[in-house]
Structures are given as structure tokens and as C-alpha cells.
Amino acid sequence: MKTIRLLALAAAAGVGATFAPQALADLTIGVSIALTGPTSALGIPTKNGIALWPKEIAGEKLNVIVLDDATDPTTAVKNTRKFINEDKVDLIVGSVATPVAAAMADVAAEGKTVQLMLSPVNLPEGKGAWSFRMPQSAAVMAIPIVEHWKKNGVKTYGFLGYADAYGEAWLKDIAPLAEKAGIKQVAVERFARTDTAVTGQALKLMSANPDAILVVASGSGAAMPHKGLVERGYPKAKIYQTHGAATMDLIRVGGADVEGSFVSSGPAVVAEKLPETNASKKLGVQYKTEFEKAYGKGSANQFGAHAFDVVIVLQKAVPIALKKGKPGTPEFRAALKEAFETMGRTPVSQGVLNWTATDHFGFLPETGVLLKVAGGDWQVVPN
């Protein structure tokens, strides 16, 4: 019992340390991300990216508060309320998990504070007026995959995805694109990140005999279903993965079984391999150099890139908003939202954004890049 009490004390001390003193005039950003729990693999690299944020933006001193939401919507909502009511933040960033970020959207709208989501959340009509997404939607990232299918004569595809919001979003968004290209969906199977096998799903998919299989998963969780399919004899070159899987962890865990497979990705992960004409090349290379200088070679992934992109959109929007109000005031917060919606085409390291009053996803169709795993590294597939 004594040790338990000690642990509780230590935890309380840790929480207390996050309440940093702050001056009102600074640009205050409240970040709620998952540093523990099932999506900590996404939250931890994001936190590393945030640690590299500059000291000031547009001459305003940056004051960043990072809280852990443990992948729990209730905790995230509590964090968001604290940001709005106690810290009077100018901007909320987070969370990295789809259901968690969705729960925060209502509170952000109620507090009339802009939320930059680090997850591609699909919200119902009329919700999320104050929420903008940093990652690309499944609809945008499906474009290079469907294009590649069209070019290679794929007529049918199978779907093997997470039984969660990420899997659901892909299932919903790729269907109309594929249908338009005359490609039929012949099987839909689900699994969970912590499952120990996908034998049943793989057998079912293969009995439908699709020309290609789309695996929807994230990070090193994407390797198990991939290996499961290969083990059952499905050809590697017909397996496609999504941008959630575009990290070196897929190659590290997947090994030889992911060789020759395709992954749809944002540009940042492979910035140096992109053609000069790509709008994200310069920013992507800058992100990768900075991130890998701090955290070692091969550490840069899309989650750190989203944190990097937050600074880029702020550098463009804050000067516009400053004309209408001082940070810490409701006028500034409203002006920031307006600036995001009207600032127009903005290249970031992960693609090209164009947020409008009606489109808070905003990534343009040119964003996605199709990658092929070759020799334990990424190779850009020319379109």
C-alpha cells in the first residue's frame, strides 16, 4: 500500500509541474495529445515535433502547454475546458486519435477557440465550425492509390482495416473514388491493432480473389495484417497501405514481407526524393533535417510533420489576425479562425492546404504521394 501511495504522490507532482506561469500578452497554445494509451505511438513523435517549435511567431512570444489525454475522450474534453477557461489559450492543438479529437471539437466550438486537429476526423454536418485538420483526409490520400489501380488494370479490391474510426473513414472515402474508376469492392474484413493473427480475414479475402488489397492500419500495427496476407500466399506487390502506415516502423517490423508493396503517404516522409516541382519539397526537407538532427536518423515521420506544419500555418495566419486584436482576446481568436479560412493556398510539409469556410480539411488533390518499399526504404512511384 505504501508504494501505491508514493506512486500517487509522484503522479500528482507530475501533473502540478505542467501548470506553468504565463503572461497574458503571449500567444498561448494548449496541446492535448496522447502520450500514453493505445495511440501513444502517434502522440510521442508529435510531442517531439512540438519540442522543436520556435520561441516566437510573428513577433509574439509562444507559450505552449502540453497535456496528456491518455487516448481518453473524457480527459481530452477536461483538458480542452481547462485550456479555454483557465489558460485562456488562443489556439488548441490535438488530439492525435480520431475519437478523442472529435470529442474536443464541441468544446472548442463552445469556447469559440480554433482547434487544429492532429487526426483526420470526419464530423457530421454543422459540427466542428472551429476545428481544422492538419492530417490529410482519407478521401485525398485515396487518390494516388486509385490512380495506380486504374493504370495497372486493377478491377476489384479487398479491404482489410482497423475496426475503428480510421478504418471506417477509409472504407467510406475510397468507395466512391474506386466506383467512379470502375473498380469493385469485393470483400471487407476488420481487425484490431492488438490482434495476434488475421488468418481468418486473410482466407476470406483471398477466397474473393481481389486484384489488390488495401490494408488500413497505423505504424507498426500495419505490419501484422500485411505479413498475414503474405503468409497465406497473397502477392506482396498487390498490397496497398495508407498514410497511417507510412513510417519506418512498417519496414522495421514487416521486413522482407513488405518489399514491393505500396503505401500512400504525405510528402514529408520522403521529401528529399520528391521531384523539384513538388510544392512541399523544400518544407519537407527542412522538417526532416531539423527533426532528425534532434532525434536521430530515420526518426522523422508524419506525426512530427503535422506538428511542424502547425507552425507554418500559424506563421501565415497570425500576422493577419494580429491586425484585428491582441492575443488573449476573443477578437484575436475569431480573427485567427477567419485568417485560416481566407489565407488561401498554403504549401506545408505534408501537402498543399487550402482551408475555406466550408472545407476544414483543405488538402488539395495534388497532396498524396504513392510510395513503394524497395530495399528496406521508400521509393517514390512517379504518377
Partner 1 sequence: MDVSIAGILLLDGVTNGAVYGLLALAIVLVFAVTRVIFIPQGEFVAFGALTLALLQLGKVPGTIWLLLALAALAALLDVVDALRRGLPSAQLARIPLRTLVAPVLVAALTWWAAPLKLHLLVQSALTLAIVTLLGPLVYRLAYQRLADATVLVLLIVSVGVHFALTGLGLVFFGAEGFRNPSFWEARFAAGPLAITGQTIFIFVASIALIVALWLFFGRTLRGKALRATAVNRLGARLMGISTAGAGRLSFGLAAFIGALSGLLIGPTTTIFYDSGFLIGLKGFVAAIFGGLASYPAAALGALMVGILESFSSFYASAFKEVIVFTLIIPVLLWRSFQHGHDDEEE
Chain residues binding partner 1 by CB under 8 A are 1, 3-4, 7, 36, 38, 40-41, 43-44, 163, 189-201, 203-204, 207, 219-221, 223-224, 227, 231, 249, 253, 255
CB of 29 to partner 1, least distance (A): 23
The string of DSSP letters for 326-352 reads -TTSHHHHHHHHHHHHHS--EEETTEE
Beta bridge partners of 133: 117
Select 207 or 277, whichever has its Cβ closest to partner 1: 207
Shortest Å, Cβ 163 to partner 1: 5
- Could you give the angle at the alpha carbon of 13 between the alpha carbons of 11 and 14, nearest 5°? 65
- Cell numbers 507559450: residue: 63
Residue 170 beta carbon to partner 1: minimum distance, rounded to whole angstroms: 14
Three cell numbers written together for 116? 487544429
Burial class (CB in 10 A: 0-12, 13-18, 19+), 10: exposed
Select 173 or 189, whichever has its Cβ closest to partner 1.
Answer: 189
Minimum separation from the CB atom of position 310 to partner 1 (A): 21
Q: CB nearer to partner 1: give 77 or 222.
A: 222
Smallest Cα–Cα separation from 91: which of 124, 132, 145?
132
Taking Cα atoms as reference points, which of 120, 377, 94, 105 lies closest to residue 244?
A: 120
Partners of residue 115 on adjacent β-strands:
92, 131
Q: Least distance in Å: CB of 215 to partner 1?
A: 13
**Can you tell me the distance from the alpha carbon of 136 to that of 367, in angstroms, rounded to the nearest whole number?**
8
Give me the least distance between CB of 284 and partner 1, in Å please: 22
Q: Which is nearer to partner 1, 193 or 333 (CB)?
A: 193
Pairing of strands 131-133, 156-162: unpaired
Using the minimum distance from each CB to partner 1, give the nearer residue, 60 or 164. Answer: 164
For partner 1, which is the closer residue by CB, 161 or 327?
161
- Report yes or no: 252 and 275 within 8 Å, Cβ to Cβ: no
- What distance in Å separates the CA atoms of residue 290 and residue 98, rounded to the nearest whole number? 27
DSSP percent split of the chain into helix, strand, coil, nearest 5 = 45, 20, 35
Residue 168: CB minimum distance to partner 1, A? 10
Q: Which is nearer to partner 1, 129 or 253 (CB)?
A: 253
CB nearer to partner 1: pick between 9 and 197: 197
What's the rounded Cα separation, in Å, for the pair 229 and 7?
44
d(C-alpha 226, C-alpha 240), whole Å:
9
Nearer to partner 1, 38 or 325 (CB): 38
Query: Alpha helices of 127-256 — where are they, by DSSP H?
Result: 138-151, 165-180, 199-208, 223-231, 248-254
Q: What minimum distance in Å lies between the beta carbon of 263 and partner 1?
A: 17
Least Å distance between CB 160 and partner 1?
Answer: 8
What are 204's strand-pairing partners?
A: none
Q: How far is the CB of 336 from partner 1 (least distance, A)?
A: 32
Q: Which is nearer to partner 1, 192 or 237 (CB)?
A: 192
Give per-residue burial for 297-318: e unless 16+ CB within 10 Å, then b.
eebbbbbbbbbbbbbbbbebbb
Q: How many whole angstroms separate alpha carbon 155 and alpha carbon 184?
A: 6
